[in-house]
Amino acid sequence: MNGAESLVRTLVAAGVTVCFTNPGTSEMHFVAALDRVEGMRCVLGLFEGVVTGAADGYWRMAQWPAATLLHLGPGLGNGLANLHNARKASSGIVNIVGEHATYHLQYDAPLTADIEGIARPVSHWVRTATEARKVAADGAEAIAVAATPPGHIATLVLPGDAAWGEGSGPAPLPPVPPRARVSEEAVRQAAALLRPGKGALLLLGGQAVWEEGLTWAGAIARHTGARLLAQMANARLQRGAGRVAVERVPFPVPQAVALLKDVQRVVLVAARPPVAFFAYPDRPSVLTPPGCTFHTLATPAEDALDALARLADAVGAQRRQAPLQPPWRPPLPTGPLTPEGAGAVLAHALPEQAIVVDESVTTGRGFFPLTAGAPPHDWLQNMGGSIGYGLPVAIGAAIACPQRKVLALVGDGSAMYTVQALWTMAREGLDVTVVIWANRTYQILKGEFANVGAGSPGVKARHMLDIDRPTLDWVAMAKAMGVPAARATDCETLLAQLRRGLAAPGPYLIEAVL
């Protein structure tokens, strides 16, 4: 059994049963092993950003790593932006990156590059497997690193001769440490900070915005009078009717500063202190008022659910105190599509247990309150800020949860970065309904242009911010890649199309023209 097959068997035995791939010559032995090993689902992407983003989405829902298979340094490079996003989301991924045979590197053939150097900025762990007999053990270690809470990026570089040389057979998975329990002292201090509720904020991220975490946090906030907020972006937030609704720290700095102006003490639960997404000349980087103090109840790596339950106990709050969101929907809007109308339509269309992958950018700023009372669903956001995450993450989520409906909400500018994802959705018959918000501009940048003090854009600057001329035809684009599609310009049509897309199996795309 060669190194490649030993590695594939190691992955499958450890429960890594999905591999998102865009292979080349140097990965052919890995691909060949797929024919001999049962239990690995291989999903082809026509661009590596699709591959890495899909692995991110898979982890968010499965909480266990998928593998990627990438072609040397440039293939990894193409996947780098979505690995950045995955790293910021604390997603666990095992990257297998093909490499020239070790003895071939000295000749500096065209594809030769510093793969480890390219991997390092987005990886927690990087290793080149230099011996076929050790490849399986290297792979097992990579899986363990990736799966270690809260999730890590492990990159294994696989030279050709390590793949085709005689391997060891599968290697056992090293122990994966469970989430650490937070100390009594951490709970005690948090309780002390919250007791005088005024000025206290419970800021949630990671597992704390899952249903269980929100229930405890909601009970604690209700009991103590502390405020409750979620981070600006969250890897997976569980919400909807019957759950505790939570507002997020807003993106615009003035809004965030206003919202946080009375906060004096922040208890961080798998969250980080709120900071501005970008720097602006006359606005603060830190969003909380001067003198605000922070206490970490749980880091993203620790057991936030246990910590919140113990904190509730410490402050005397009971689970049943959690204020649960009643079912509610805004009035059904009519007429031409607006961001607000779109949000209200979403509230009416969202099915039970939907997975919403949100890359709506400016269009979606108001979606949260409008959909708060919709049937329970998961809401996934971009943690790393590199656009082009939405369509790929939807692929991974759909593969992790084949029984659930995935709704990908993506701005037209964002969707173009990884538009190849549509083809993979079609090939795999994934149950993803894609809504493209077609405002035909990098709308966010028009605001940011003024925010950074650059005034208002002139003719040449606007030419860099608008993406009309020519207009992207998303219906044609989807059909070109095998995804049925339609266009909506009013609220009624958007609702009808959403219902159609969500009812039918397989992917469907709606170009929502704003």
Q: Which of residues 406-445 bind a second copy (CB under 8 A)?
A: 413, 416-417, 419-420, 423, 426-427, 444-445
Element (H, E) at 434: strand 432-438
Q: What is the DSSP letter of 235?
A: S
Cα–Cα distance for residue pair 392/84, rounded to 1 Å: 14
486 touches a second copy by CB under 8 A: no
Residue matched to tokens 């609220």 = 491
Residue choice 14, 31, 61, 512 for contact with a second copy (CB under 8 A):
31
103 touches a second copy by CB under 8 A: yes
State the minimum distance, in angstroms, from the CB of residue 172 to a second copy: 25
Cα–Cα distance for residue pair 273/377, rounded to 1 Å: 26
C-beta of 459 vs 505, nearer to a second copy: 459
Q: Is 338 exposed, middle or buried (0-12, 13-18, 19+ CB in 10 A)?
A: middle
C-beta of 287 vs 491, nearer to a second copy: 287
Instruction: Tell which residue, 371, 510, 494, has the closest CA to residue 433.
Output: 510
Cα–Cα distance for residue pair 302/206, rounded to 1 Å: 10
State the minimum distance, in angstroms, from the CB of residue 329 to a second copy: 31
C-beta of 176 vs 475, nearer to a second copy: 475
330 touches a second copy by CB under 8 A: no
C-beta of 331 vs 455, nearer to a second copy: 455
Asked if residues 139 and 7 have their Cβ atoms less than 8 Å apart, the reply is yes
* Segment lying near a second copy (by CB under 8 A), choices 66-74, 314-322, 335-343, 489-497: 66-74
Q: What is the DSSP letter of 46?
A: S
Residue choice 3, 57, 65, 75 for contact with a second copy (CB under 8 A):
75
Length of the chain as a residue count = 514
Please provide residue 159's backbone torsions phi and psi, each rounded to the nearest 5 degrees. -65, 150
> Within 239-268, which residues bind a second copy (CB under 8 A)?
none
C-beta of 153 vs 312, nearer to a second copy: 153
Asked if residues 231 and 300 have their Cβ atoms less than 8 Å apart, the reply is no
Residue choice 35, 175, 320, 505 for contact with a second copy (CB under 8 A):
35
State the minimum distance, in angstroms, from the CB of residue 158 to a second copy: 13
Q: Is 299 exposed, middle or buried (0-12, 13-18, 19+ CB in 10 A)?
A: buried
Pairing of strands 93-99, 200-204: unpaired
482 touches a second copy by CB under 8 A: yes
Number of residues that bind a second copy (CB under 8 A): 102
Q: How many CB atoms lie within 10 A of CB 28?
A: 15
Please provide residue 333's backbone torsions phi and psi, each rounded to the nearest 5 degrees. -80, 160
Residue choice 3, 139, 160, 206 for contact with a second copy (CB under 8 A):
160
State the minimum distance, in angstroms, from the CB of residue 424 to a second copy: 10
What is the x/- site pattern for a second copy, positions 446-475, by CB under 8 A? Answer: --xx-xxxxx-xxxxx-xxx-x-xxxxxxx
> Within 170-189, which residues bind a second copy (CB under 8 A)?
none
479 touches a second copy by CB under 8 A: yes
504 touches a second copy by CB under 8 A: no
Cα–Cα distance for residue pair 76/86, rounded to 1 Å: 14
> Within 264-303, which residues bind a second copy (CB under 8 A)?
272-273, 275-279, 281, 285-286
Cα–Cα distance for residue pair 92/312, rounded to 1 Å: 30
495 touches a second copy by CB under 8 A: no
Q: What is the DSSP letter of 481?
A: T
C-beta of 108 vs 184, nearer to a second copy: 108
State the minimum distance, in angstroms, from the CB of residue 46 to a second copy: 4
